[in-house]
Every structure is written in C-alpha cells, then in structure tokens.
Structure 1
Amino acid sequence: MHLRHEIAHVSHVELLTPAPEQSLWFFTEVMGLTENGSEGDSVYLRTWDDYEHHTLKLTAHTTSGIRRTGLRASSPEALDRLVKAIQDQDLGIGWQDGDPGIGPCFLFRDPDGHEMELYWENEWYEAPPGLVPALKNQAQAYPGRGVCVRRLDHVNYLSAEVEPNTSFITDVLGGRVTEQIRLDTGLISGGWTHFANKSYDLVYTRDWTGSNGRLHHIAFATDTREDILRAADIFLDKNVHIETGPHKHAIQQTFFLYVYEPGGNRIELCNPCARLILAPDWKTITWSESERAKGQAWGLKTIESFHTHGTPPV
C-alpha cells in the first residue's frame, strides 16, 4: 500500500465543450466563476475561494467530456514517489510544462483511460484591483454573481469497470475508498475515493455502455444548502436544464442539484461539500443493490438519465 496523503487535493479540471461561448456564459454569469486569462481555444476560470490560478480550463472542442484532471502533490518528494509508483504500473505518459500558474506536470492515465496530471510547483493567485478581498485569508472578493460556487469539490468518472480504478487510487495514489455499491452479482458498480479528510474526491461509477474514459459529472461546492435552493431558481430563470434535485443523496449524504451546461456536460452543486472523514481506521461503507433501489435519501428514485447520460456521448 502506498503512503497516504501523498496527494493534497483535486485542484482543477479541463472540460471540453462544443458550445464554447454558451459554456463560458454559463460558468461566468450563471455559476459565478471569474475569468483569469485565455490561451488558444481555452479560457481559464476560477472559483472565488481557490488559492491557485484556475479551477476550470474550458476548451472548445468538437465534442464534450473531460480532457484532464489536475492533482497537486503534497510535497516535491511526494511527487517523485507518486511518479515512480505510476511508472511501475505502465500508466505514465510523461512530463510536460504546466498551464499558466502551474509548474512541470507528470501526465498519466487511470486504468480506464481518464487522463490526469500531477504537479507540485504553482503560483498562488493574487487578486487584481477590484477583486481584492477585505478578508486577507480569502483568495478573492466574493463576486456576488449568479450561484457564486466556492470551489471545485469532486469529479465523478464513468468507467467500464470500477474496481481496477479504485484499486489504482488506493494502491498507487495512496487514496482510500470511503463508500461503495456492491450489486447482487458481487460486482462493484460505484466507488467513492478520497485523499485527505474530505469524504470523497474522485468517484468511479459503472458505464452502462461499456465505454472508457467518459465523464459523469464535475461538482462545485456552495457555502450552504440555501445557495443550492436559490441556484435552482437561477437555473430556471436562465433556462438551464435541471436534471434532478434539489434533493439529498444517501451515499455520502450530500445535498445536490444536477444540471447540464450548454456543452452537454453534467454539473453538480453540492453541500455539505463532502463530509469529513477523521477516523484513521475508517472502514468502507458498502451499499447493497436493494438499498440503492430505494432511491435517494428522502425517497426520490434515481432518474433514468443519471444512468444513461455521460460525456462525450456514445
């Protein structure tokens, strides 16, 4: 087992969109992210409480989906150890220069083919005039625009098989499975993994199409549940498609709202922003197929599109 806490946190994602102008409008005007530069077909966006250069790299593309997930190592030494462990699994791609604000990155893939990057060096965000916060322990002034999400919370991947990927997270990257779903056949159909004290960072759920490398959703944290209820009204006013919620998950007990951004990618708002797992000897919670059939925590049945919609489309 690899040493735990070698990865500090999930830092950013690169999201692909076939509707770049509409997606940019969604993330800035509706979600409340702040633009922080552009390069080629990509725009860099940040949540107001992110200490780094960007939270989301939005890239124009022929289709939707996730191109890459950024993970920051907990130290230069941890980065070296992680790179060696990944190379030992023959899943490394190689080193490359990072995006603005980020140092050298080691690219690799999980067993399902999702691309990720590991790095240590970065530049802490310095707010320009007009965005300097009154509170010096906050990265940026609260924008007061749209939903005003606080930070990136987690990424949920679709995968042809769940267990090889959760095993990779635990055995190679030093994470831990906090909760999972086991079907009556014994197959694990969903696994929630974390690296530090948040109850989950990267999630793998079974892709019913059998495809590889697809995205189920990325999730942004709000300050309160009330923010999610207000967001539902904002989405309604802005003609953003609400897929399901507001409601509460049984797994991880997250209060949620799912929408589709204009490029077709599923976006979640969540609060509490993943529970804290403080027990060093936490035992994985396993949910059975019959328990999952009861639906969400307050009785809402999981809607069909939650199992069929992923990006890019098959």
Structure 2
Amino acid sequence: MSVTHDPDRRRDIAHVGPIELRTAVLEESRDFFVDLMGLREVHRDASSVYLHTWDDYQSWTVRLVRHDQAGIGRTYLRAASPQALDRLRESVGTDRSVKDVPGLGEVFLYTDPDGHEMGLYWDAEWYQAGDPDRPALKNQAAKYPGRGANLRRLDHVNYLTADVPQTSAYLRDTLGARCTEQIVKDDGSPQAIWYSLGNKTYDLVYTEDWTGSRGRLHHVAFATDTREEILRAADVCLDAGVHIETGPHKHAIQQTFFLYVWEPGGNRIEICNAGARLILAPDWRTISWTREERAKGQAWGLKTIDTFHTHGTPVVPVEEAGA
C-alpha cells in the first residue's frame, strides 16, 4: 500500500555520520579499504584504524575495530542543529553520553529496537587536508585519490532486524525519517524498508533477519562518482582475489547501480552509484514491492544470489538459525 508522507515533518537528523565496522583481521581489512577502495588512513590506536573517504567533510568516515566477530559497531547520526540534537535526545529517551570519540563532540547513545547501537551528535571536526591530499578546488574535502575504487563517501547502512514493522514505526515516529520504498509480505506487513533522512533516496535500510537474530549487519554501502568506477572496482577486486558476491548490475528497488563484495573480515560491502535519484517531493508516496515482483530479479533480470538473503555479520551458525 502506498503511504503519503507529511510535508510538515521536521528533519532533525542531517545525515548518517561515521560508522564503526568490526573485523577479526584488522590489518587485512585496513589494506582492503586503503589499497583497493581508495580510503586514507588518518588515525589509529591500539584496537582500531580510522579511515577517510576523499570527499567526506568530517575528519573520518569509518573506524575499523578489532573484534573476534565481524559486524557493525556504533553508527553515528549527525543532528541538523544543536536544538535538533536536544529534540532527538528527548525523542529517543537518552541522557547517556560519551565525549571520547575522536573528531566528534558529546555523543548521546541509544539503541534501535533491534539492538544496534547508535550515537547522536552535533559538534564535528572537519577534515583538514595536508600536502599529500590537498585538493585543487577548495570546495572539496581532499584530492581525488586515483586509486582502486576511489570511494567518495559513505552512502547508507543496511541492517538486519528481527522485527521490521517495529523498526519501521520507530524510524518514522521517533527519528522522523520517511520510508521511500519497501518490500511487503502477502499480509501487507513490511519485510524490508528503505528510509530517507533528507533528500537522498535512502540512508537507513532494514531487512528481515531470516535467523531471527538481533543486531546484525547486512551491508555498508559507499558511493562512487560514476558507474564506470564500479566496473573498475570489479576488476580491482578480481585481481586482488576479493570475493565478489554479485554484480555489477542495477537494482530494481531504488535503481542503484551496484557491486557487492566481502571485505577480508567478512562484512558485505556495496560499491554503488546512488546519487542520481533524489526525493524532491515533500509528499513522497512510499513505493511498495511484493515478493512476487522481487522474485523477477534485479532491474535487468539478474537473479538475486542466495547468499544475499542468508549472509550477515556476525555469522550465525546454521544450526542456530531460526532457533
């Protein structure tokens, strides 16, 4: 069923900020992102490495965290203003905060209904390019790396969730996000949801976890400038022996051109070109897809590979799935 959104809704979240990604092979994951994806290492400590995509205005984009299991750590969401941060704190019901996140001011912590940890913030340190990556144009965060996939920015995060309807209501009612597209079951309840925080087609995605587990990750997506860079990324990953799961191809939902690979830690990474479509209509009507429609495959007919539905991080042993 199509849902029309309230044009008077308040947008208190500006965008998805930095994320934490867990990996048991920290240096291998670091080399994947730096050598093959084109990110830059900007900081490290005893347990993590901080990386920056070349046109992210903030001081870092991804923190790789040494952990015994792969998966998503904390996701940071930047408020639209200091006043918006206060409203969001009240909406999610938290006064729990930390002040030790590099490059961010006070961060207020909460968990979504599925147990994923999130951090709300306003104060942010902007990236300062040095001589090695100083851009020619001052309206760009850093110079184009010309290396590997040349990932420009973080685009979205796709989480797995045990209860899609509950999560959908939370995103709408608590965070003020709007559902741009969804997959619905035969009874009309959502099975997967794409939520937008601003004018991008989507920023936060939640997909039903077939194992019934909570707090897992489906994938993290990074945007390139062009489709051609995604094709080049496929060759780069092929030569490097990186597991290419599916693509390059075009999604039917959201029309995103995509390539899915697994980084050395086991996390699924999407390399995408999603910026061509924007949601400009203030009263956008949610697009609903049935499972029968989705069974037809992607936009140009590529069938969805089985692991796209079964693989998530941390990995749940088959014998525990659905238990």
Whether these two folds match at TM > 0.5 is yes
Deviation track 1:241-299 (CA, whole Å, cap 9, x = no partner) reads 00000001000000000000000000001113362000000010000111011011111
Distance 1:98 1:3 in 2: 32
Partner of 2:45: 39
Matched, 1:30 2:8: no
Q: Contact between 2:48 and 2:64, CA under 8 Å: does it hold in 1?
A: yes
Partner of 1:237: 239
Partner of 1:51: 57
Q: Contact between 1:82 and 1:173, CA under 8 Å: does it hold in 2?
A: yes
Question: Which deviates further from its counterpart, 2-11 or 138-147?
Answer: 2-11
Deviation track 1:112-154 (CA, whole Å, cap 9, x = no partner) reads 1111100000111111122111011001111111111000000
Q: Contact between 1:131 and 1:140, CA under 8 Å: does it hold in 2?
A: yes
The alignment-based identity, stated in percent, is 62
Q: TM-score, normalised by structure 1?
A: 0.96
Q: Contact between 2:89 and 2:95, CA under 8 Å: does it hold in 1?
A: no
Partner of 2:320: none
- Segments of structure 1 that go 5 or more residues without pairing to the other structure are none
Distance 1:98 1:191 in 2: 33
Deviation track 1:51-78 (CA, whole Å, cap 9, x = no partner) reads 0010000011111000111100000000
RMSD over equivalenced CA pairs, Å: 1.2
Q: Contact between 2:261 and 2:268, CA under 8 Å: does it hold in 1?
A: yes
Aligned to 2:166, the other structure's residue is in SS state helix
Taking a change above 3 Å as real, the CA distance of residues 77 and 3 of structure 1, as seen in their structure-2 partners, is: farther
- The count of corresponding residues between Structure 1 and Structure 2 is 310
What's the CA shift for 1:228?
0.5
Q: Contact between 2:114 and 2:162, CA under 8 Å: does it hold in 1?
A: yes
Distance 2:241 2:142 in 1: 28
Partner of 2:281: 279
Taking a change above 3 Å as real, the CA distance of residues 274 and 202 of structure 1, as seen in their structure-2 partners, is: farther
Matched, 1:207 2:213: no
Deviation track 1:155-211 (CA, whole Å, cap 9, x = no partner) reads 000000111112111111111000001111333110000110000000000000000
Partner of 1:63: 69
Partner of 1:15: 21
Distance 2:22 2:157 in 1: 14
Q: TM-score, normalised by structure 2?
A: 0.94
Aligned to 2:96, the other structure's residue is in SS state strand
Matched, 1:174 2:172: no
Matched, 1:110 2:112: yes
Amino acid at match of 1:313: V
Matched, 1:312 2:314: yes
Aligned to 2:308, the other structure's residue is in SS state helix
Amino acid at match of 2:226: T
Deviation track 1:10-36 (CA, whole Å, cap 9, x = no partner) reads 011100001111101001000010011
Taking a change above 3 Å as real, the CA distance of residues 131 and 154 of structure 1, as seen in their structure-2 partners, is: same
- Segments of structure 2 that go 5 or more residues without pairing to the other structure are 1-5, 317-323
Aligned to 1:218, the other structure's residue is in SS state strand
Question: Which deviates further from its counterpart, 279-288 or 124-133?
Answer: 124-133
Structure 1 runs of 4+ aligned residues shifted over 6 Å read: none
Residue from 303, 308, 313 that aligns with 1:301: 303
Question: Which deviates further from its counterpart, 32-41 or 257-266?
Answer: 32-41
